[in-house]
Amino acid sequence: MSGSHTYKFDVTMTCGGCSGAVDRVLKRLKENESNIVSYTVLLDEKSANVTVDDESPALYEKILRTIKKTGKGVNSCVELDSNGNKIRDVDVVLKDE
């Protein structure tokens, strides 16, 4: 697989404060990670979508850990190709949990 792809996280968010917290941490992460192309946080869909151009497990784990630091639950994650087609389900349990 090459090119950009998106991780679609199903995140427990119930209000604007919840989605704002996730948005803030992803914004900071994007500023520090050149391999994060873009992100969106959608309260109505209870999702955080992060588009990356790096397939490394370390980057995925960093994104997952960053979202979980907000205290919001991450229920599932799907990896999508650049056309929005599902590639695979991705584990949302961190190694040290």
What's the token pair of residue 78?
């799907």
Over residues 74-78, mean pLDDT: 97
Over residues 28-49, mean pLDDT: 96
Share of the chain above pLDDT 70, in %: 98
| CA 9 vs CA 49, 85: distances in Å | 6, 15
Residues 40-56: tens digit of each pLDDT? 999 999 999 999 998 78
Give residue 2's pLDDT band: very low, low, confident or very high (50, 70, 90): low
